[in-house]
């Protein structure tokens, strides 16, 4: 995800700005419960490396929305507090009771399509690169 990486680097947005808010509550604040339950199931089966895969999946779904000229607006989006998106979701009559990212149309099906599409490049070498901080990784989370 080089575009996201360079955009975040340009705006000085580090994973610490959003990742703890996702991982500590195991995504419950940001995703609908059904998506969280599915993540938890896979987490039990595959281990904690799946947390990073899920985080990359979320960034992948949000990617078209992550290019703001302003750092503050980008951080609001990552926190699920983007006023413009909330206004649009409210105007469209979407229920906003299942996680902050529902305002962006992120649901279980959309997230899982993205996670499944990452199967080809999510391999042991990718995980090792994340752990060791290899500069060749397009978007290091650690």
Instruction: State the CATH number of the domain containing residue 56.
Output: 1.10.472.80
Q: Are 118 and 49 in contact (CB under 8 A)?
A: no
Nearest alpha-carbon partner for 53 in 110, 119, 137 = 119
**From first to last of its 142 residues, what are the pLDDT tens digits of the chain?**
889 999 999 999 999 999 999 999 999 999 999 999 999 999 999 888 889 889 999 999 999 989 877 899 899 999 988 888 888 888 888 777 778 888 888 889 999 999 988 876 666 556 566 666 544 444 545 4
What domain count does the chain have?
A: 1
SS3 6: helix
Residue-number span of the structural domain to which 116 is assigned: 2-123
Nearest alpha-carbon partner for 105 in 3, 51, 32 = 32
Residue 132 maps to a domain: no
Kindly report the pTM of this predicted structure. 0.79
Residue 82 maps to a domain: yes
């Amino acid at each position: 995800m080089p575009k996201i990486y360079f955009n975040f680097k340009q705006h000085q947005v580090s994973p610490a700005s959003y990742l703890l808010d996702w991982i500590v509550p195991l995504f419950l604040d940001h995703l609908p419960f059904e998506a969280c339950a599915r993540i938890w199931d896979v987490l039990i089966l595959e281990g904690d490396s799946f947390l990073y895969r899920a985080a990359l999946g979320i960034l992948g779904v949000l990617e078209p929305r992550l290019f703001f000229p302003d750092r503050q607006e980008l951080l609001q989006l990552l926190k699920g507090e983007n006023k413009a998106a909330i206004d649009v979701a409210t105007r469209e009559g979407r229920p906003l009771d299942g996680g902050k990212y529902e305002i962006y149309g992120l649901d279980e099906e959309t997230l899982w399509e993205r996670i499944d599409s990452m199967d080809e490049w999510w391999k042991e070498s990718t995980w090792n690169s994340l752990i060791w901080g290899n500069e060749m990784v397009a978007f290091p989370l650690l």
